Structure 1
Amino acid sequence: MSQSLYITAVLVSLLASASQLSAATDAVPKFDIERNCRSELSGGSGIGETMASCKADEERAGDELTPRWSVFSRADKKVCIQETQIDGSPSYVELLTCLEMTPSGRTKSQGPVD
């Protein structure tokens, strides 16, 4: 493969990824709760957690994200979506936590964050 063809292929791939991520920030992403909970429980990070409690936590976080989604900035959503997908098992709990720590996730009533 010639160098220019390779560079073109890489650029097309990057643009496609950026476009998909941009579209993903328009609505709460769809995560596989079952898969995430299996991963959490098999990794030992959910000490004392059951599949039922993990799924309930994920569903609650997803339900909380939906009405608040428009409050968060597009840039913050993009960063947090990428962050929660790093390990291959994205989580609504992680996404909500990440977004709540961003500038757009804080409200005036919460005051400044140290």
Structure 2
Amino acid sequence: MKIALLSLAMMVGQSTISVSDRVPHFDVEALCKATVATDKAMGLTLPESYDNCMRDENTALKQLNTVWLQNSDTLRNQCEGEATAGGSDSYVDLLTCMQMADWAKSTADAPKLRGASKNRNKL
């Protein structure tokens, strides 16, 4: 019996995936319920509906599943921290963080615009 348990433990240990290698699990149902309640309490004219919130969160999760491993551990950890700050764990926030990092990376290599600078002809 002990040998069987040890063998099972070794097999499970070998198949364990690092936390940063998979998209974190968020309780978006609770997030969406809280969002709806907050919007209602604030008396917003166009409050977020539960269905729209869940649709947005699930769409973001699907997109994250395709891009998660394309980003560095550092960025994934940083974005996860931002997406969970304040207790509102959101796949939309996580995806937005990663998209903004991609955008910043792509624009860093773009040529600098000189526009109507007075120094334009001095370069």
Report the TM-score range of the alignment, normalised by the length of the smaller protein.
Answer: 0.5 to 0.7
Show the 5 A alignment for 1:1-114.
23-44=18-39, 47-102=46-101, 105-106=102-103, 111-112=106-107
Where does the alignment leave 5 or more consecutive residues of structure 1 unmatched?
1-22
Once superposed, which parts of structure 1, at least 4 consecutive aligned residues long, lie more than 4 Å away?
none
Answer yes or no: is the 8 Å Cα contact 2:33–2:50 preserved in 1: yes
Answer yes or no: is the 8 Å Cα contact 2:79–2:98 preserved in 1: yes
Please list the CA deviations of residues 13-69 of structure 1 after superposition, one character each: whole Å capped at 9, or x if unmatched.
Answer: xxxxxxxxxx43210011111011112222228843200000000000000100111
Could you tell me the TM-score, scaled by structure 1's length?
0.67
For the pair shown, the structure with the greater C-alpha radius of gyration is 2
Could you tell me the TM-score, scaled by structure 2's length?
0.62
Where does the alignment leave 5 or more consecutive residues of structure 2 unmatched?
1-17, 111-123
Matched residue, 2:11? none
C-alpha distance in 2 between matches for 1:84 and 1:68: 16
- Aligned positions, number: 88
Answer yes or no: is the 8 Å Cα contact 2:35–2:48 preserved in 1: no
**Pairwise CA RMSD:** 2.5
